[in-house]
Structure 1
Amino acid sequence: MENLKNNIVNLDNEFSKEKLFDEIYDEFFERVYKFSSYRVNNKEDAHDITSNIFIKIYKNIDTYNEEKSHLAVWIFTIARNTIYDYYRKKNKFKMISIDKFKDFFSSEKYVEDNIEKLEEYDYLRLKVQELEEKEKMLISYKYGAELTNIEIASLMDISVSNVGVINHRAVKKLRSEMEAYYEK
């Protein structure tokens, strides 16, 4: 990460820009993809959105100002806005992709345990979708993008302590729902 900071200041030629982009891509691709997949309905759309996010990052890399925000905050602001654009175009709003769970069926050990696990994930996914929008976004940032509370606070324009409170309440709601599910 320190290497990224040093390269941001030195964007005076195209080679430097490409090198910096490669480092950003390597550092953030997985987190951006996870964040996208938490927010959209399927794997293909998550891949497309992630590609669009990195295209925007590349095109705008020379506008990044580390004095205004942390690099991760800048990147996930682009990610959030790209996903908003996706939903404006598609006029739909889903959350976690069911494709994440199809791996349970790809193993040769297609047994009752896998089916039960899939049902648990489906139920949890449904309960996450029922959360308030602010809670869903925070869950996506925290567990999809693996951002810190400080980064999330900056992205959501709320205090760090409020991030902790919202996360605690959302997880508590989900835990309560899952406990009820297991008691059935």
Structure 2
Amino acid sequence: MSNTLIESQRTSDGITYDVLFKEHSKLIFKLINNFIKVKNIRLNNTEVDDIYQDIALKIFKNDYLSKYDREKSSFITWLNIICRTTVIDFYRKKMRFMDEILGDAGALETEGSVDATLFSLPADVLTERQAEVITLFFKDGMVTSEIASALNITSRTVRSIKFQALARLREHYGAASTSPDQQKPETAQDTTETRRKVS
């Protein structure tokens, strides 16, 4: 029997890893989406999928099921805390990444590509050509002359498109609310749940 299979058959309070991710995937997605909706966090479907993967990895890698104590919290509260903290971690990392792109340094030529997991453009903000140029710059690590050659346009046009795209992105992210950890919880119960640490 493989180590992976043995791990997946570990159980805590009748819940195995197989059961958790086969029977509670919809619940995990619901908890993620509820939290980002309440906190007005701008994430697309691909990013939500990435967060789900982060949650699955975190639970499995840290063997959270064996540490779960039903006397300290209900299963849904335990899972909700993991989902919330993972969303916050992902959001903070993404905002740091976007600050680097949208800051003064982002206007310079880049060397090398960036983390593809974090690189995702918001829907319906950029034109198709703007998204193409920004992707070539920041995800593929191409410079102006290379992009101009690849798209059969002038370097001046590339710089103009990039400038317009960054302006739209700054406006988009500038309109976003403060990070979720800076906002006050909705209820006293929410405060208690947020302060609890995963057992």
Length-normalised TM-score, structure 2: 0.40
Greater radius of gyration (CA): 2
- Structure holding more helix per residue: 1
